[in-house]
């Protein structure tokens, strides 16, 4: 039942919104992984970011996509919790506190050949402004060095549905998917390579700064 509801939600709500209302334009789709284990790493400006990334994949593969999300936000009430766990299929992560291995759930998902969706910036930032990536993705790559990491840059979603807003504004959005990178053997060099790839993807659109 869960997979049926997820399938119907993306077929009749998410895809029409992205393709018809927002006119989503995808470049580099050929770079996206056809199977797991894999990690998608993207910038984060909108509530729509996760849905957009999931919509890039065939509907039959939705159940294999596992966005990492903040437990304190998405498990805050029972309705949002049910939606996040059953329709979006999140892996809830606790912010703060101490765990022996905070990446354990993510590593387990990769061991099940799932595709993770990560936003290394952490919380959603200001519309169309990138923030520095946190190093958690580097430690995940170190723990599973053979798993490919796919950078994805999104533009326009921060204006269509920015942080703090629940009113959708029709605005064209663009998605740029890049070729996979792997663990370089060093967190600093890995993060440098990832940031470079994201910058190159962002520059493909030649977008003017938001006023």
Mean pLDDT by 10 residues, the chain (211 residues): 94 94 93 97 91 96 95 87 96 76 94 97 69 92 97 90 70 93 95 95 77 52
On whether residue 191 sits in a domain, the answer given is yes
Contact present, 187 and 120 (Cβ < 8 Å): no
Cα–Cα–Cα angle for 94, 95, 97, nearest 5°? 85
Q: Does 15 fall in a domain?
A: yes
The Cα 101–Cα 96 span in angstroms is: 13
Query: Considering its fold, how many domains does the chain have in total?
Result: 1
Is residue 199 a part of any domain in this protein? yes
Q: Is the pTM higher than 0.75?
A: yes
Cα–Cα distance between 19 and 89 in angstroms, integer? 22
The pLDDT, as a whole number, for residue 12 is 96
pLDDT at 33: 97
Can you list the positions of beta strands (E) in 11-55?
Answer: 25-27, 38-42
- Tell me, what's the pLDDT at 74? 86
Residue 195 resides in a domain:
yes
Residue at 124 is within a domain: yes
The runs of H, that is alpha helices, within 113-186 are 136-143, 157-160
pLDDT of residue 8: 97
The predicted pLDDT at position 97 comes to 58
For residue 162, being part of any structural domain is answered with yes
Q: What is the CATH number of the domain that holds 40?
A: 3.40.1130.10
Instruction: Tell me if 210 is assigned to some domain.
Output: no
Range of the domain at 30: 2-204
Asked, for residue 156, whether it belongs to a domain, the answer is: yes
């Amino acid at each position: 039942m869960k997979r049926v509801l997820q399938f119907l939600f993306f077929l009749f709500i998410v895809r029409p919104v992205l393709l018809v209302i927002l006119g989503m334009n995808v470049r580099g789709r050929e770079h996206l992984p056809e199977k797991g284990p894999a990690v998608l790493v993207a910038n984060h400006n909108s509530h729509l970011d996760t849905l957009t990334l999931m919509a890039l994949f065939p509907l039959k593969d939705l159940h294999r996509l596992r966005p990492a999300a903040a437990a304190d936000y998405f498990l805050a009430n029972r309705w949002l919790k049910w939606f996040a766990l059953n329709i979006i299929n999140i892996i809830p992560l606790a912010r703060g506190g101490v765990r022996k291995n905070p990446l354990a759930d993510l590593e387990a998902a990769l061991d099940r050949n799932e595709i993770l969706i990560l936003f290394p910036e952490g919380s959603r930032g200001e519309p169309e402004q990138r923030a520095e990536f946190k190093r958690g993705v580097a430690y995940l790559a170190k723990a599973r060095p053979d798993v490919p990491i796919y950078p994805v840059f999104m533009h326009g979603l921060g204006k269509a549905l920015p942080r703090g807003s629940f009113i959708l504004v029709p605005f064209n959005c663009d998605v740029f998917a890049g070729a996979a990178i792997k663990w370089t053997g060093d967190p600093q060099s890995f993060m440098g390579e990832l940031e470079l790839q994201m910058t190159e993807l962002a520059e493909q659109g030649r977008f003017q700064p938001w006023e």
